[in-house]
Amino acid sequence: MQSARQIQVATAADRFDEPDVWDSGRVTSRDSVNVRYPGPDLRARTRYFWRVRVWDGAGMLSDWSKPAWFETALPAGDLRQPDRGYGFGPDHVGLAVVAL
């Protein structure tokens, strides 16, 4: 069973040595799903890369996960301005998490 986790978020998959967005450090917790992001505010319309590693109940540390990415949505105000070329739909608004 997981005893701790560490999550890193960066603006590029090659920036994990010194994450430029957030590094949780070791967090003692068994929570592994629906973990709230407590890092700094994220910018709209931006791709972020993330990875995670965990410690088991015996204190053994896993390897880092393969990097994955997500993109943040448009700000709410942008959705109300059709002249800017934005709209609703999977290609325009939402959050996607993709394994690389």
Top-tier CATH class for 2-99: mainly beta
Q: Which spans in 13-98 are helix H? A: none
- pLDDT for 74: 80
Instruction: Please determine, for residue 14, whether its predicted confidence score (pLDDT) is greater than 70.
Output: yes
Residues 52-93: tens digit of each pLDDT:
999 999 999 999 999 999 999 887 666 555 544 444 444 443
CB burial of 25-51 (b: ≥16 within 10 Å; e: otherwise) equals eeeeeeeeeeeeeeeeeeeeeeebbbb
Beta-carbon contacts of 9 under 8 Å, excluding residues fewer than 6 positions away, are 19, 21, 22, 23, 37, 39, 48, 49, 50
pTM of the model: 0.75
Domain range annotation of the chain: 2-99
